[in-house]
Structure formats: C-alpha cells, structure tokens
Structure 1
Amino acid sequence: MGLRSVLRKPGIIFGGFLGLATLSIMNTAYTNVLDEIKSELILNYTWSGALMSGYFVGYTVGQIPWGILSDKYGSRKAITLSVLGISLSTLLFGYSGDIVIAVIIRFLSGLLGAGIFVPGVKLVSSWFNSEERGTALGLLNIGGSLGMIAASWAVPLLSASMSWRGSLKVMGLFGAFTALVCLFFLRDREGETSRKMSLRELPVNVPSFWYLSFIQFIRLGAYYTFIAWMPLVLREEYGLSVIATSGTMSLLNLAGTISNPAGGIVADRFGEKRVLMVGFFSLMVFILLFTLGLGNPVLYILVFLLGWFINFTRSPAFSIIPGLFGAETAGSISGINNTFASFGALVLPFLLGYVRDITSSYTIG
C-alpha cells in the first residue's frame, strides 16, 4: 500500500502530473514578467490584480460545464481539451493590445483551464483506494509546483531575448504539445461509477461541507495572491533583482514540490483533519511574520515555509472528500469546493491590488 502501490499506475500519475504542471505554467507565466506588462500597458495595481482575478472569474464559471463534459465524455478528454485550451489562450495573451483585451483573454484562460484539476480528482478517486488517494493527489500536485518553478525561470529568460510577448507565445506552443502527451497517457477506468448530484442532494446541512469550502477559499486565495503579487513585493519592498526574485519564487514552489506529496502521505497515515488543522495554523503564523519585513536570510526561510504549508494542505483538502461524502460523488463535491477556492483566488489578489492602490502599502492587505 502507499507510494509503491500508487506508482503501479504510472500513466495516470504522469498524465495528471503533466496536466497540472502545464496549468501552472500557463496560469502564472505572466506574473514573472508583470513589471514589463504593467509598464507597456500602463497599468495601476488594481488593474494588475485584475489580470489574476479575470482568470478566476472564468475558472469559477467553467467548473460546472467542465464537470458535465467530464461526466459525459470522461476525464481523459476533458483534461486534454482543457490543457489545449489554456495553452492556446496563453499564446493569444501575447498579442494583447490593451488591458481590456488582456483581461478578456485571462478570463478565457480561466474558462478553458477549469477542466484539469477536478477531473483529475475524479480520476484519482476511481483508480485509487482510500489509503492511496492522498499520496496519488500529492504526486499529481508536484506537477503544479514544478510548473511554477519552470515558469519562474523560463519566462524571464525568454523575455530578455524576445520580450514578454514572445515568451508567452512560446509557453503557449509548449502547452499545446503537452496536451497531446496527456491524451496518450491518461485513461478513464472502465466501469467507473460516478453520478451527478442534484441540488437537493447537496450536503448543505453538514458543517464539514462549509468548513471545507471556507478552507478552500482561503487556501487557493492566499496561494494565488502569493503567485500574483510576491514577485512585485520582493522587487519593490525588498529591492531584489529579477534573478533574485526568480530564485526566491523558486523556493516557494520548491517547497510545494516536496510538501504536496508529503501532505498526502502524512494524511494517509495520520488523517486529513490533523494535517489541515496544523497546516492552516502554521500558515497563519508565517504570513504574519512575512508582513514584518524581515531581511535575509529570514526572508528566504519564510518564503519556503509559506510554500510548504500552503501546499501541505492541498491534497488532504480533497482526499478527505470521498471519506466524508462517498467516492461516487467525489467529483461533484470536489467541483463545488473548487468553486469556493476559485472565488477566493478571484477576490483576494484583486483585493490586495486595490488595498495597495489606496494605502500605498502591501502590509495592510
């Protein structure tokens, strides 16, 4: 049982891993050249935050349609089409002429990219048992962290020789290729049993449903606030160079590469509830410490710890769902929880940009 048994299904693990890696690359590529985009399109901080929020408006809207497509045609086709869609919209973002067009394309990216994670949870629920799901999701989620590390280095380096527009076009073409690889490796399980829940079946009277929804709102909202704004905070507040900023962002994502599977493995052994309680309390403490403006090397340690604990809770927040609500409805409940997560990722980055504009401070936000 555990890691060894999970690795007996390498195609499912690698295909899901690659899908989440591509999603992360496409979603965060622009944040690594936000300085250049902000200057060329003449953006204030509120509009800069709107680029991330526009994505998550589309991502939230896309949850239900992609869930329907996944139920009807299978997770394999849904994930492949979603990877292709967000990749082509990233390429299109490289042609943005003004902020309105840029936000519309970011909305399109979110809408088209919403069919990767929840169908991935559905695949894991169908292929792995309750003692393996946390570990399996953790391995898939490594892809998300490695994708962000790749974007944090590749995009600035490409931008130096071909501008931010050229770098995003290259990333988009790369993503279109990975869609074909996902199609090759992923498989839907024959005889998989899943069903859509009606509105009357939603467990709205169960406190755990709302606890998990709130946890997801905070988790993903905080995560994408870091992704969208930390590069600018590091450069404007801490005076780091472009290279130092890329290295620091790599620490954030390197931590996630380790803590994503670690959180799943620990949750399989000791229970998801304990991991979630310890993880979110620790995250609160380290966010407060980060706002104190501590210098090096404490800054680097804090960034690593932020990346560790925000990713440590990701797999348990989803692997707990089949045990609470049943494996046959895991896809539906995961989709609903992910909608709350998307709403947090929509609101919090935009809110920080707005607070930065009216207070001239990141710390208050």
Structure 2
Amino acid sequence: MQQHSHPYRWVLLGALWMVYFSFGLAVFSMAPLLETIREDLGLSKGAMGAVLSAWPLVYLVAALPAGTLIDRLGLRHSLAIATVLISASSLLRPIADNFIGLFGAVAIFGIGGPLVSVGAPKLVSVWFAVDERPLAMGITMSGPGIGGVVALATANSVLMPAFDQSWRSTLMVYAVVTVAVIAVWLVVATAAERIAPEADRNTDPEGGFSGAWNLIREHQAVQIMLVVALGMFFYNHALNGWLPTVIEDRGFSSSVAGYLAGAVTALGIVGALLGPRMVPDKSRITAMALGFALFGMATLLLNVDTRPTTFAGLVVIGLIKGLAVPVALLVMMQLPGVSPSNMGAAGGLFFTAGEAGGVAGPVLFGVLSDIGGSNAGLVLLTGVTFATALLTVLLRSAMARAVGHR
C-alpha cells in the first residue's frame, strides 16, 4: 500500500499538527506577559522588541538551508531536531535573568522554526494525494494558531493567578507541553518511516541556492513578491508580539487583553482554513492588495482610543490575518519562473525575505512605543501596510509584462 492511501497518514498528520501547535505556543507564549517580564528584568520596550525579533533574525538565515537538511535527513529526524530546539528555547526562557539570556533563549527557536515551516508542506506532499492536500494543509496550518490562542487565553487568566503571578512558572508550563510533543513525534514518525522508508528523502545532490539566486536575478515579479513578503511579516510579527500591550493601552485589563488577542488569532484560524479556497485564482493578487489596505484601516481604528473602534479594528485584523500568508504562497507558486521543481527555493526565499521584516517589525514598534507610546508604533504599521498594498498592485503589472514577453 502506497503512503498516499495508507490510513496511518492521518495519524502522522496529527503528530505534525502537535509539532505546529508547540510552534505556535512558543511564538505566542511571551506576548501576554511582555510588560510583566519587561518590568521584572528592567528592560525598555525597545529591548523587549529586540527580544521578540531574536528568533526571526535567526530564522531568516536558516530558512534556505532548512529545506536541504530536511531532504537529506528525512522528516523523522529533521522534525525531531525542530521539536528539541523549540523545547530548549521554551525551557530556557523562564530561567533567563537578563537581556542576553532572554534574547539567546528566544533566538534558539529561530533554528527549529524553519524546519517546521518547510517540513510541514513536504510531509503533506509526500503522504497525501493531490486532492487531499488542501484539507491536510488546512488542518496543519490551524496548529500554530490554536497554540497561540491557548497561550493568549490562559497566561494571564489561568496560569498567572495559579502561580502567584509568576511569569517564570507560567512559561515553564508551556515548555513542558513542548517537551511532551518530542516524544509523540518520535513514536509516530518512527512507525511512519517503517511504512514508507526513504519516501521523504531527496537524493538530488544539487542544493537550492543557485535556483534561488536565478529566481531573484531573472524575474522582477519574484523581486517584488519578496518585498511584499517583507512588509507582510513586518506587520504580522510586530502585531503578534505587541497586540496584547496595544489592547491594554486602550484601558483593558491584562487578562481581557489576552482573551481579545486570542480571539483575533482564533478568527485568523478560520481565515486560514476557509479563505484561500474562497479566493479565485485570478483574483488572488487583488485580494492581497485589498487585505493589506484593510490592515492599514484596522490599525488606524486601533489608534482611535475608544473601545468600539478597538473592537472593530481587532475584528478586521482577525478576519484577514489567517489568509494573508496562504494566499501569498499561492501567488508565489503562480509567479513567472516558479515551478514545482524549484518551489523549495522559492519558498525559502519567501520566508527569508519575510522574516527580515519579522525581525524589524517588533524592534521598530518597540522603539517607537518608547518614544510616543503604542500609537506611534501603530502609525508605522499603517504606513507599512499601505505601502505593501501599493507594491502588490505593482506585482500585478510585473506579472502582466512577463506574460506579454512570452
């Protein structure tokens, strides 16, 4: 029986979902505790923004090599390495007692993160037939979102009160969950490798670096798409890290801010599962431009210091947030020069460029917040989203010119 039809593929997908859940738990677990951690360690908001950017900084360097490593080691070993690194990052955070320690703990996640991001679509492509892949990817992509919802909803309302307002004990609970995922993945993946040995390995000796360089050099549409990815991740990472603080600045308690930020992430999960299927192929770039413009409008609403406008802005962000990256990746697959044979290189470029924005976003938001409060950071995000919407319009023109020259 081929792995595409073997019923065990769904068990393996469940284990992958748990790995991605731990990914989301690690990414979001600090967000609702930022102010508490910052005050306890005596850090400025700018320094805290640097901590939030530690893992994207490492991620953007590791994204391209991650695909090659996965092809050589296979999914069982590479995703096991990923879960160990995620767990190490999670375990070291609550014992950090200064900026360097916390920065280093968060940075370790940046090595494991791209192994998950690249490994997840590879697992789906290896184990699932073409007609099942949209469902499998939808299930997989809900993992980090649900992990984020759990962290945002439980940190200040459940775990902090249970542990006498100790952020260290709260983060340690999340770390224990990520450690448990290591065992689950190893057991499930070991059985899967017995069913389909070597199915997920690529013996092609050529790496993806030359292919990535050719895409950048020869195709203007790819160049523009990478800048779009930078702007999109700039916005996403800045908001992921600072949204609970922004909500608190609007007069909400820390626990309510956690619930509201979790609700935004929950809406994003719905968008990730349903949105890409609802956008026609020919309308994807238009949908991207509209989405970025709406992001800009939402941050303008957050800048108006009233509860109704805050709620309205959060709803808009939540509805659009989840479908932004999936739709962008679908557009990436349609770009001139991109094909199934070099999609690994294209995907590596996409996440590398995106995480460059992911590094800059939280840092600049934090620095501006030190100067002018969260309103100043939101003004920055508004400008970035409107500029990214304009770039998306230019992307359409570049693709049209490329088609005309064929």
User: Structure 1 residues 80 and 124 mapped into 2: Cα distance closer, same or farther (>3 Å)?
Assistant: same
Structure 1 window deviating more from structure 2 (99-108 vs 314-323): it is 314-323
Q: Aligned equivalents of 1:68 and 1:91: distance in 2?
A: 28
Instruction: Determine if contact 1:130/1:323 at 8 Å carries over to the other structure.
Output: no
Please state how far the C-alpha of 1:8 moved relative to its aligned partner: 9.8
* Alpha-carbon distance in 2 for matches of 1:227, 1:341: 14
Distance 1:361 1:255, change over 3 A: closer
Choose which of 166, 179, 188 in structure 1 pairs with 2:169. Answer: 166
Q: CA deviation at 1:268?
A: 6.7
Partner of 1:231: 244
Aligned-partner Cα distance in 2 for 1:132–1:322: 18
Map 1:6-17 → 2, pairs under 5 A? 9-17=9-17
Offset at residue 239 of structure 1 (A): 1.1
Distance 1:275 1:122 in 2: 26
Q: Aligned residue for 2:365?
A: 352
1:31-180 pair list within 5 angstroms: 31-127=31-127, 133-156=133-156, 157-162=158-163, 163-180=166-183
Q: Give the unaligned 5+ runs of structure 1.
A: none
SS of alignment partner, residue 89 of structure 2: helix
- Deviation per CA, 1:291-311: give whole Å up to 9, x if none: 233423x42232122022121
Structure 1 counterpart of 2:351: 338
Range with greater deviation from structure 2 (108-117 or 121-130): 121-130
Q: Which amino acid aligns with 2:178?
A: G
CA pair 271-14 structure 1, distance change in 2 beyond 3 A: farther
Write the deviation string for residues 198-242 of structure 1: whole angstroms up to 9, x where unpaired.
426531121231232122212222112112111111112x11012
SS in 2 for 1:293: coil
Runs of 5+ unmatched residues, structure 2 = 381-406
Match in the other structure for 2:396: none
- Pick one of 176, 188, 197 that aligns with 2:208: 197
SS of aligned partner of 2:115: coil
Would the alpha carbon gap of residues 33 and 191 (structure 1) be closer, same or farther in structure 2, given more than 3 Å must change?
Answer: closer
* Aligned counterpart for 1:315 among listed residues 305, 318, 326: 326
- Looking at structure 2, the residues matched to 57 and 178 of structure 1 have their Cα atoms a distance apart, in angstroms, of 25
Q: Which residue number corresponds to residue 304 of structure 2?
A: 292
The answer to whether residue 194 in structure 2 is matched with residue 181 in structure 1 is no
Task: Tell me if structure 2 keeps the 8 A contact 1:122–1:330.
Answer: no
Partner of residue 245, structure 1: 257
2:214 and 2:132 map into 1 onto residues whose CA distance is 26
State the AA in 2 paired with 1:259.
G
**Distance change in 2, residues 1:276/1:136 (3 Å):** farther
Separation in structure 1 between the aligned mates of residue 27 and residue 339 of structure 2, nearest angstrom: 31
Aligned equivalent of 1:306: 317
Task: Name which of structure 1's ranges 340-349 and 175-184 shifts more when overlaid on structure 2.
Answer: 175-184
Cα displacement string for residues 106-148 of structure 1 (whole angstroms, at most 9, x for unaligned residues): 1122223331112212333444566665554333211121111
- Residues 258-297 of structure 1 mapped to structure 2, 5 A cutoff: 258-267=270-279, 272-296=284-308
Is the deviation greater in 335-344 or in 69-78? 69-78
**Whole-Å Cα distance in 1 between the matches of residues 284 and 125 of structure 2?**
16
Deviation at residue 39 of structure 1 after TM alignment: 1.2
SS in 1 for 2:30: helix
- Matched-pair contact (CA < 8 Å) for 1:225–1:345: yes
In the alignment, the residues of structure 2 paired with residue 333 and residue 106 of structure 1 have an alpha-carbon distance, to the nearest angstrom, of: 26
Query: Aligned partner of 2:228: which letter?
Result: I
Deviation at 1:329, TM superposition (A): 2.2
SS of the aligned residue for 1:313 comes to helix
Following superposition, the deviation at residue 270 of structure 1 comes to: 6.1
Which whole-Å CA distance do the structure 2 matches of 1:107 and 1:235 have between them?
A: 26
- Give the deviation of 1:265 after TM superposition: 1.7
Displacement after TM superposition at 1:93 (Å): 0.9
Amino acid across the alignment from 1:160: P
TM-score by length of structure 2 reads 0.80
Contact 1:138–1:315 (8 Å) recurs in 2: no
Aligned partners of 1:46 and 1:350 also within 8 Å: yes
**Structure 1 residues 77 and 317: alpha-carbon distance in aligned structure 2, compared to 1, 3 A threshold:** farther
Secondary structure, counterpart of 1:43 in structure 2: coil
Question: For this pair of structures, how many residues does the alignment match?
Answer: 358
Confirm or deny: 8 A CA contact 1:50 1:103 kept in the other structure.
Answer: yes
C-alpha contact (below 8 Å) 2:73/2:201 kept by paired residues: no
